Amino acid sequence: MNTLGLRIKQLRKAKGMSQQALALACGWESQSRIGNYEKGTRQPNLEDMEKIASVLGITLPDLVAGRDRSELESLPDIVQGRVRSEDGLVKSWGRSGDKDQPVSSCVGWAKKGIVPVVGNAQLGNEGYFETSDLPPGHSEGYLEIHSDDPDAFGLRVLGDSLLPRIKNGEFVLIEPNKSFISGDEVMVRTKSGRTMIKEFIYLRDGMYRLDSVNAEHVTIHIAQSDVEEIHLVGGILKSSRFLHSASDF
């Protein structure tokens, strides 16, 4: 199973890009290179991997080794070294050495961290909710978890509209600077003021397809122009991870 090729294909489709469009964005004239990479008939070299990752808005380690790094040992030595080097920078500094590079999606390093809880997600009908946001720089408490996204924040979920995935009183970790792929849960805020947590399926021809985490709610399609913001849901946390103040950490 060529998981690298499948990841490239999923990420490309999630961005609504054709093989030709991705090839051109990478500076290649023909789409056949992307087609071969996706089918696994050809393996990209490190330079090509870097170009693809940059265009798709994902870090090189996440693209080539998987988010859990389960495929690391199967990669050439030069690629393994690059992945370990970038992961080492994230582990030490919380993000890659180049501030213009995407933040790695690896969460859960063996070091402590806290993320501010900035409001409540009061769930309503059809999975929509309203957020009672606090003023900038304020929080009602913290989540005991490390995130390498410096802008990460938490929301407390109130209500049962997202059962069974998210229960009343649990928290969601929102990571605005992280990339996401098909199958990831995301928080979406529309320009009309509706906010929801859905499963991102794809962005195609200017339309998002979003599936519900609750089977009772239907799939929805939203025009990209109607979306105010869309962010990765990096985690769902139990209330035991909530701290009333930073001094409790």
- Kindly report, residue by residue over 216-247, the tens digit of the pLDDT: 677 889 999 999 999 999 888 888 888 887 66
Contact 117, 156 (CB under 8 A): yes
CA dist 5 and 12 (Å) reads: 11
CA dist 171 and 154 (Å) reads: 6
Six token digits for residue 215: 């089977």
Write the CATH number of the domain with boundaries 114-248: 2.10.109.10
CA dist 64 and 49 (Å) reads: 8
Report which secondary-structure segment, H or E, holds 145. none
CA dist 123 and 157 (Å) reads: 7
User: Which pLDDT does position 37 carry in this prediction?
Assistant: 92
Write the CATH number of the domain with boundaries 3-93: 1.10.260.40
pLDDT digits (tens, 9 = 90+) for 120-133: 776 554 555 555 55
Indicate the domain borders of the chain: 3-93, 114-248
- Which one-letter DSSP state was computed for residue 104? P
CB contact set of 74 (below 8 Å; sequence gap of 6+): none
| Mean pLDDT value across residues 36-64 | 87
CA dihedral 120, 115, 53, 188 (to 10 degrees): 10
- Which one-letter DSSP state was computed for residue 248? G
DSSP strand pairing (141-144 vs 114-123):
antiparallel
Using a cut of 0.85, tell me whether the model's pTM lies above it. Answer: no
Give the number of other Cβ atoms within 10 Å of residue 227's Cβ. Answer: 15
